[in-house]
Each structure stands twice: as structure tokens, then as C-alpha cells.
Amino acid sequence: MKEFAITISPRLYETDALGHINNATIAAWFEVIRMRFLESLADGIEGSVRSWILASVQIDFLGETFYGSDVTGKVVEASIGNSSFTVHCEMWQGGRQTVRGKAVLVHLGLESKSPARIPDVLRERLAAL
């Protein structure tokens, strides 16, 4: 898979009392990474980004992430099911991996509000990576 990466600049208010980036902030950053990845796949497909719900998330904290140095958020693997999509992400700061995680997203029919098959165009774009 071709790597997808974004840069995140930590903000001071995202730190905890020990100067680490707060765990809830890390979860939010993973959402930003996932959504930007989906947006890159869904370019030109109306409503496709809004049609996902988070079904499961797992985050492993491997090291400390701090304010004052950019973080690189990467999608390192993505697999597609019938109506679900699993995205594996990593965060790196200063040349070391600090966090890894995965999330399962479910594609919903916008009118039915129930799980729906992922559109073929998204499948094709993912396969092209």
C-alpha cells in the first residue's frame, strides 16, 4: 500500500499535567488521520465521508508524545470488507513511533441508516493503493 501521511502540530492545550499529549487528543488525531485518508479516497463522491460510523477503535501507546515537535500520522494498512473498512494508523515524532492503532468503520446508507455495501469506486481506489 502506498503510504498516506499527514503532519500534526501539537498545541500546548493538548498536553496533560506531565507535559504529554493527552490520550483523548491522540484519539482525536487518529480520527483526523482516518478522515483525511477517506477524503483522499472519496474525492468527488458525494456524501461518502459522512456515511461512516466508528464501530471499534484500539490505540496502543508505545511512547510519549510531546508538545513542541510535529507528529507524522500515517495510514499503514487498510482492508475493506462488505460494509466495513479497517484502517491501521501510526504516529511518529522525532523519528520514533509513539502510537499505533486501528479502527473499524462501517459504511451506512444515508437514507436507510443501516450498514450498506461500500461503493465499488471506493473499493477500486483502495485497491489502486
Residue located via cell numbers 513542541: 68
All structural domains of the chain, each given as residue ranges with its CATH number in brackets, are: 4-128 (3.10.129.10)
Task: Give the per-residue pLDDT at 1.
Answer: 66
Q: pTM score, two decimals?
A: 0.88
Under 8 Å between Cβ of 76 and 3: yes
How do residues 53-68 score in pLDDT, each as one tens digit?
999 999 999 999 999 9
d(CA 89, CA 100): 6
How do residues 85-96 score in pLDDT, each as one tens digit?
899 999 999 999
Which residues, at least 6 apart from 92, have a Cβ–Cβ distance to it below 8 Å?
Answer: 71, 72, 74, 98
DSSP-assigned letter for residue 95? T
Pick the more confident residue, 123 or 56. 56
